[in-house]
Structure 1
Amino acid sequence: MTAASGQFRNMHTMIRVFDLDRSIKFYTEMLGMTLLRRDDYPGGKFTNAFVGYGPEETDTVIELTYNWGREEPYELGTGFGHLALGVNDIYAVCAALEKQGAKIPRPPGPMQHGTTHIAFVEDPDGYKIELIGLDTM
């Protein structure tokens, strides 16, 4: 069985967050995703919230995991790279995000070794999200 046989589907990416409500607000209000579901697991002392641009049955989504009682933000480590979202008019999107208070450590512009325009925005926990200008690819 191979991935090409249609037996596999990318379902979600999970990231641990320090302040779940703040993260949900960022992904829904700033990035335009929908809160698809939020489930508490008292026995495990954690909450999962799933956000995305479409239903989990057909779209890849992001799982935000909040571990109850955490007193310190997570260290991002060196293994994780970034999430990537395609956008139209990357300059207008970044201007709107910046106006809402988003951190944009890499403003929009062409890639160093290409013509596609990209930018990076940070979520409240410091995770990098690459914005890719669909109209510049």
Structure 2
Amino acid sequence: MKMAHTCVRVKDLEASVDFYTKAFDFKESRRRDFPENKFTLVYLTLPNDSYELELTYNYDSEGYDLGNGYGHIAIATDDLEGLHQKHKEAGFNLTDLKNLPGVPPSYYFIVDPDGYKIEVIREK
């Protein structure tokens, strides 16, 4: 077995596609429209990775309550400081670099247009 995809529901499909492609270099791998059921699915992948992020857009939705159960997805990078600086310069909503006790800074969080948190971690 292997992980296939993670779904997030979005209120503005093009804003979300724009965010993920600009912030992380995701590429749209496929798009499936279901107008009779009033939704569109967009699948995004990172270069050299088959795991997909599925953006689900329901035509009649005005957004979603994330509640207190959603945690985050995580994306690893070999240039944590460089990506953090890129995100900061682009004006994205992000935290400062963070660390766990006794270790140097190794992660930060960035927030997408729908309020979903993405943890960006130093690749091991």
Cα distance in 2 between the residues matched to 1:78 and 1:109: 22
Which whole-Å CA distance do the structure 1 matches of 2:102 and 2:38 have between them?
A: 46
Structure-1 residue corresponding to 2:54: 63
One-letter code aligned to 1:123: D
| Correspondence list, 1:38-57, <5 A | 38-54=31-47
Equivalent of 2:74, from 74, 84, 91? 84
Paired positions, count = 124
- Further displaced range: 43-52 or 107-116: 107-116
Runs of 5+ in structure 2 lacking a partner?
A: none
Q: Deviations over 1:3-55 (max 9, x none)?
A: xxxxx221000010010000000111121110111111012100000001147
Q: Which has the larger radius of gyration?
A: 1
Correspondence 1:132 to 2:114: no
Q: In structure 1, list runs of 5 or more residues that go unmatched.
A: 1-7
Q: 1:48 to 1:118 in 2, by over 3 A?
A: same
Tell me the C-alpha RMSD between the 2 structures.
1.7
After TM superposition, the score normalised by the length of structure 1 is 0.83
- Matched to 2:14, the amino acid is D
1:95 matches 2:78: no
Q: In structure 2, what is the Cα distance between the partners aligned to 1:73 and 1:99?
A: 27
Structure 2 counterpart of 1:20: 13
- Which has the larger displacement, 58-67 or 122-131? 58-67
User: Residue 111 of structure 1 aligns with which residue?
Assistant: 100
Q: Give the alignment's TM-score, normalised by structure 2.
A: 0.91
**Structure 1 equivalent of residue 111 of structure 2:** 122
